[in-house]
Amino acid sequence: MPLDYAKLGLKVGLEWHQRLKTHKLFCNCPSKLKREEGKVKLERKLYLSESELGEIDPAAEFEKIRNRTFIYHVFRDVNCEVEADESPPLDLNKEALEIALTISLMLNMQPVDEIHVMRKIVIDGSNTSGFQRTALVALGTNKSIVQTTSGSVKLETLTLEEESAFIVKTTPSLAEYKLDRLGMPLIEVATASDIKTPEQAREVAEKIGMIFRSTRKVQRGLGTIRQDINVSIKGGARQEIKGVQKLELIPLILKNEVKRQLTLIKIKNELKKRMVREKDIKNNVYDVTEVFRETHSRVLKKQVEKGGVILAAMLPGFKGLLKQEIQTNKTFGYELATYAKVFGDVKGIFHTDELPGYGVTEEELKKIKKILPCKEKDAVVIVAGKREKAEKALKAVIKRVKMALNGVPSESRRPLEDGTTEFMRPLPGPSRMYPETDIPPIQINEGLIKKAKRKLPPQPEEIIGQLVKKHNLTYETAKELFIEDKDKVFEEIVEETKVDPKLVASTLLNTLKSLKRNGVDVKKIGKKELIDIFKAIREGMAAKEAIPNIIAFLAQHSDLTLNKALEKLDLVPISMEEAREIIDSIIKDNIHVLKRKREKAVKIVMGEAMKKLRGKMDGKEVYELVREAVESKLIGD
């Protein structure tokens, strides 16, 4: 049954983050990602003073508990002393500011009079300095609206900020980052929490994304766009789902989140019915290693052999609730396991809703229940590992279980590939900001705005509409060309070769992609190569069916000219007469088989014919010839 999101009070706000195609925001290093690890590594620890944090922020406290070491990979060609926090920042990148102003104007937002760079405290080590620099560029007015099919959504702020460092590895005691990404310019556009359905969220994201793309000044590819989604329902709590990269996942993520909150509320009500109170949930952790001395559970046995312990805690009245599914294929027990993983760095947990199983026997369970001791309605969670880690993990589980009495805790969550999410850390309080004293304020005067207005790119719908009209494309094809930033190259190729625009579009959008999927290095085939291929087709030197073959061949033999490649591939188109002769000889050679399998004759001949004619003639034409030939040669007699 579809959910009534209005009735559930679904509220969603988006924060769109987009990396810009210009050098870094506060130094002149190029915005280039490195594939490899850094040769030089820095090690830092973060010291938080109470005064810097004011009242203790739950997320800050979380990091304090973890007291982590941070390791940073440095790259000589894309890092300088600014990223290493050994030198003050340079002036704000002017090109980045111009792009930010352009986008503000395209979104009908009001640029501020003066830009103040601020420091926003970050505690996870994702910035070497312990803060992220951010600058408000424009504010929403009542004209700053994204129109969707189900109502309008207001835009609130547009900020220019520096990208964080890329996380390589994280454990509760250590986090490792690469500094190549740190400092890249990033624009964040935040909407009001006006979004009311999962589909509308996707629509808004897509529209904002298209505006960015029309500037042609944004980075492309995986990771260059990410959205944070703020979401809540009535009776639930606000979550921040951080870093969603694929727009098409947004509706699914939101549907899962609504289901998760609804189920957590249901669990809360069930616990109330069972009269479970917070004081019933004890912090006691029991060492049950002895019970598993002779266990057949490989997981537990391995931990004990490595010198670890097995600890257990009782969850009074929780029986049956841990196997409750709260997101697609994820139970409440899984939710508890993520707390154990994040806080205790253990691999996972076992709980009695899924036991006996995994090699743990009924007998062993009985012994544990006796030690704790627990009653019929209680559940037990078991964690194995080094004592300190296992203890932290189990305490985190108990803490999370207590939160279940209040329903939904506010969290920062990480999106997963299947559209579900996972606990990352408690939701931070409002960010604490301080002025960046190293950078003077920047005036946004009329001149700057006028300059940006003069250079304003057309709106996305205008660009797409033009493509449709001029080249007789479908709206979807035109939109895809634009979104993939292939519309310019498309127009140049069509202009130069005068071949069918639809053929050019489908080569750019489909053929290249499927070849890439099949391992062809399509990067070797640029605009020039494509123009040559289309010209060859226009001049009848190859059939259009041969395009994938030609591209694949050229990508592999970049030393060959197109003419040589066509010769080698034997793709010179042949005449109808030649094709007929080939088909006739196929029939002649196989006449006995064909007479026996008359009803399959066309199929058999077609298969053989395509082996010889693929790439030289349109498949539909071959089929017609085959059908004709079979009819006259077989049916006729």
Which residues sit at the interface with Zn ion, rule CB under 5 A? 27, 29, 80, 82-83
For the CB of residue 79, give the shortest distance to Zn ion in the complex, in Å.
Answer: 5
Closer Cβ to Zn ion, 80 or 365, answer by number: 80
Q: Output the smallest distance, CB 94 to Zn ion, in A.
A: 16
Which residue, 84 or 541, is less far from Zn ion as judged by CB?
Answer: 84
Nearer to Zn ion, 117 or 146 (CB): 117
DSSP string, 340-409: HHHHH--S--EEGGG-SBTTB-HHHHHHHHHHTT--TT-EEEEEEESHHHHHHHHHHHHHHHHHGGGS--
CB nearer to Zn ion: pick between 93 and 144: 93
Our separate counts of H helices and E strands in the chain read: 23, 24
Give me the least distance between CB of 93 and Zn ion, in Å please.
11
Q: Which residues, including other chains, have CB under 8 Å from residue 148's CB and lie 6 or more apart?
A: 200, 203, 204, 207
Give the chain's length: 637
CB of 181 to Zn ion, least distance (A): 12
Q: How does DSSP classify residue 29?
A: -
Q: How far is the CB of 436 from Zn ion (least distance, A)?
A: 16
Residue 125 CA to residue 121 CA, distance in Å, equals 10
**In one letter, which amino acid is 536?**
A
Neighbours of 281 (CB within 10 A): 21
Q: Which of 214, 158, 167 is nearest to 187 (CA)?
A: 158
| Minimum distance, C-beta of residue 223 to Zn ion, in the bound complex (Å) | 20
Whether the CB-CB separation of 387 and 309 falls below 8 Å is answered with yes
Please provide residue 78's backbone torsions phi and psi, each rounded to the nearest 5 degrees.
-125, 10
Alpha carbons within 13 A on the beta-carbon side of 39: 4
- Closer Cβ to Zn ion, 162 or 257, answer by number: 162
Least distance in angstroms from the C-beta of 80 to Zn ion: 3
Phi, psi of 117 (to 5 degrees): -75, 130
Distance, in Å, from the CA atom of 158 to the CA atom of 136, rounded to the nearest integer, reads 6
In the complex with Zn ion, the residue whose CB is nearer, 11 or 181, is 181
Q: State which residue, 36 or 77, has the beta carbon closest to Zn ion.
A: 77
Give the helix/strand (H/E) hosting 111.
strand 110-111
What single-letter DSSP state applies at residue 510? I
State the minimum distance, in angstroms, from the CB of residue 184 to Zn ion. Answer: 10
Is the CB of 83 or the CB of 240 nearer to Zn ion? Answer: 83
Contact (CB, 8 A) for 11 and 196:
yes
> Which of 27/254 has CB closer to Zn ion?
27
> To the nearest whole angstrom, how small is the minimum distance from the Cβ of residue 91 to Zn ion?
13
CB nearer Zn ion, residue 26 or residue 332: 26
Q: How far apart are CA 602 and CA 595, in angstroms?
A: 11
Q: At what angle do helices 332-344 and 250-273 cross, to 10 degrees?
A: 100
Q: Which is nearer to Zn ion, 80 or 112 (CB)?
A: 80
Nearest-approach distance from CB 29 to Zn ion, in angstroms: 3
- Contact yes or no for 64/426 (Cβ under 8 A): no
Residue type, 530: L
Which H helix or E strand runs over 7? helix 5-8
Q: How far is the CB of 201 from Zn ion (least distance, A)?
A: 35
